[in-house]
Homo-oligomer: A and B are copies of this chain.
Amino acid sequence: MKGSGRSRKTSRGGAVVLLSGGMDSATTLAIARHRGHHPLYALSISYGQRHARELLSARRVARHYGATLVTMTLPLAKVAPSALTRSDIPVPTGRSAEEIGRGIPATYVPARNTVFLSIALALAESTRAEAIYLGINAVDYSGYPDCRPEYLRAYRRMARLATRSGVERGESPRIEAPLLHMTKADIVRTGDRLGVPWELTWSCYRGGKEPCGRCDACQLRERGFREAGAARRRK
């Protein structure tokens, strides 16, 4: 069996994991696998400029963990203009990790997590998965409304009422956000422990060949590795 090299703790039912191909979602997939969920569905939703680069990372990470990759292209730019969906809105660069945490940045995509979770809910209901995992984080992304714990609680309540399994059997997929209260350094340490293949992941908000090193996502990634005391800066 490929992946973390560790045995699964317990045997659990299926899970859908939202996988962007970045370090947070890769760590989330590693956690879902470590917790013993089977089968694993990695749902990769492409919606913007980084399309090709993200999809490549998502495919590699999903394969590493033996997850079935489900891809969906969603023209979100039509309804949600953002620096991440439109090329005419610049991605902010050169902000410190502290600055990134303040306010709602240009990279915020309106209702993005709500849309993503809803598509994950459809897949979870169809595959009878017992859980949906997403790598949202309330520490570094406190400026994003849909990364806050109170948002997630409200989503969970809604999801319980939205599904056939909820009506027929009083069950519905749980929404799990294991990184919610972790710092980026915590995420790196957790990922290291579970053997996350960082070299396969992609964080940069731009879709170039190499990470730009200057956008919010690159800054947070670098700070995470630095603070976690990782010996090398992984790309």
Contact = CB atoms under 8 A, between A and B. Distances in A.
Interface in A89-122: 104, 108-115, 117-119, 121-122
Given A104-B168, A108-B164, A115-B115, A80 B125 contact: yes
A43 to B, nearest CB: 7
The secondary-structure label for the interface of chain A is helix
Which residue among A43, A160, A167 has the maximum number of chain B CB atoms within 10 Å of its CB?
A167
Contact of A78 (B72, B151, B154, B163): B72
A126 B110 contact: yes
Nearest to A113: B162
A199 interface: no
Interface residues of A, number: 47
A80 B124 CA distance: 9
A161 B117 CA distance: 14
Contact of A145 (B74, B155, B161): B161
A88 interface: no
Interface in A117-140: 117-119, 121-123, 125-126
A111 B163 contact: yes
Contact of A115 (B43, B119, B150, B154): B119
A199 to B, nearest CB: 29
A148 interface: yes
